[in-house]
Structure 1
Amino acid sequence: MGTPRPEDPPSPDDRSAARVRTRSGGRSERVRRAVGEAVLAFLAEGKITFTTVEVAERAGVSRRTIYRWWPTHDDLLIEALSLHVRRVEPPDTGSWESDVRAFAHLVASFAADPVDLAMSGIMAGRRHPDFNALVVDQYRPVLGAWRQMVARAVARGEANDTHAPGTVVTMLVSPLFLGPLMLGRRPSDTEIDRMVDLVLAATRP
């Protein structure tokens, strides 16, 4: 999705809450995941315009199911984006150092994923503002969780409160997202650990 903006305020009216249907367990969950993965596959190809028939065929489900559960194109995108952003939820190990280190490696792999790279290109082109808005909406809860990771460390006395949580997150994730776009590769583990060391030094109590 390109470089996120962790300081964006939470949305007071998160459209995803109203539009994404919650189904868990059993066949419903399998269908939901299959449809989400099918849409993500289209996004990885740089396509945000696809038909219900194409999604049904790629997901291996009936068109009737798609029309019943995801009646609009936006519903399909929200399903896929919701699945996508959950893959970068931050860890909660109980330790700031282990949290930030595990989180950095997670983000590095996530940002180098073909789906996120393609989405970054789509968003950077600014030709599809409605799609960009959907992406931002889906990331709001995740960005809040990223900030909470920092806030927990401050509350435990493991990090100082000199910098706002959003600033700390931005300092860490920006180069991780920009690396694949500018260098064409995921940062090495050594490079990631050096970034983490800088964040730890900046937040030391």
Structure 2
Amino acid sequence: MSAIKRRPGGRTERIRQAVATAVLELIGRGRLDFDMQEVVTLSGIGRSTLFRRWPDRDALIVEALSEHVSQLQIVTSRDWERDLATNMHGLCRFVARPIELALNKLLVTTHNAALKKAIIDAWLPILRVFEQPLRHALRSGELIDGTDTRQVVRFIFAEMAFRSMIDPASMDEKYVDGLLRLILQGIKQERHSSAR
């Protein structure tokens, strides 16, 4: 399931999607310094409409990021280990996309604190959904007591974001499986069978 739901249809939604798509396309091309007119041209949305809803470039980036992160599919079921593996593999593919690489670069290089906060805030709903199976496993005694599930999820996201920027070629299934094993060794409650 997607972490963020959007209501389909309507003129306002079509405008929002056209603008977000245009901004993401520019970012994907490496055009982090795009100007408003480029978005007008690419989206086909009138200049006055664009400026009325998105007064500056940062507002456009936040809108595009919101659309972008809503595309990440997170699964939640009763099998937390399978969910964790599936979600980690999906996240790995997601962060390796050119748009995500460009957004990560923007997050690291911007000196605009408000934009940095907005980028981080856009990810918070995803982090919460990603964490749900781990919280369930902790409550049911399948994780080591005191496991900080939020920190586990943040570690996964930070590790993959960092790896995507320094060594994207290494981000394959073997990498994810190794990272998953490492995490499970640190959080999974060992089941001791009683000797009879």
TM-score (norm 1): 0.75
Higher relative contact order (CA 8 A, sep 6+): 1
1:86 is displaced (CA, Å) by 1.9
Unaligned stretches of 5+ residues in structure 2: 1-5, 190-196
The one-letter code of the counterpart of 2:167 is L
Q: Which has the larger radius of gyration?
A: 2
107, 116, 133: which is aligned to 1:132? 116
* Per-residue deviation, residues 109-166 of structure 1 (Å, max 9, x unmatched): 1211111211222232244433222212222332333333321222244333332012
The verdict on how the C-alpha distance between 1:173 and 1:130 changes in structure 2, with shifts beyond 3 A counting, is closer
Establish whether residue 103 from structure 1 lines up as the match of residue 102 from structure 2: no
Cα contact 1:46–1:122 (8 A) shared by 2: no
Q: Is the 8 A contact 1:154 1:160 kept in 2?
A: yes
Among 90, 94, 99, the alignment partner of 2:78 is 94
Q: Give the Å deviation of 1:185.
A: 1.9
Distance of 2:173 and 2:127 partners within structure 1? 23
Aligned residue pair count: 184
Q: Which residue of 2 aligns with 1:28?
A: 12
The DSSP-based 3-state class of the residue aligned with 2:70 is helix
1:82 and 2:66 aligned: yes
RMSD: 2.5
What is the distance in 2 between the residues matched to 1:52 and 1:192?
Answer: 38
Which structure 2 residues correspond to residues 43-192 of structure 1 after superposition, within 5 A?
43-88=27-72, 90-185=74-169, 187-192=171-176
Report the CA distance between 1:23 and its aligned residue: 6.0
TM-score, normalising length: structure 2? 0.78
Measure the CA separation in 1 of the matches of 2:143 and 2:161. 24
Q: Which residue of 2 aligns with 1:193?
A: 177
Q: Which blocks of at least 5 consecutive residues in structure 1 are unaligned?
A: 1-21
Moved more, 92-101 or 182-191: 182-191
Identical pairs, percent: 28
Residue in 2 aligned with 1:16? none
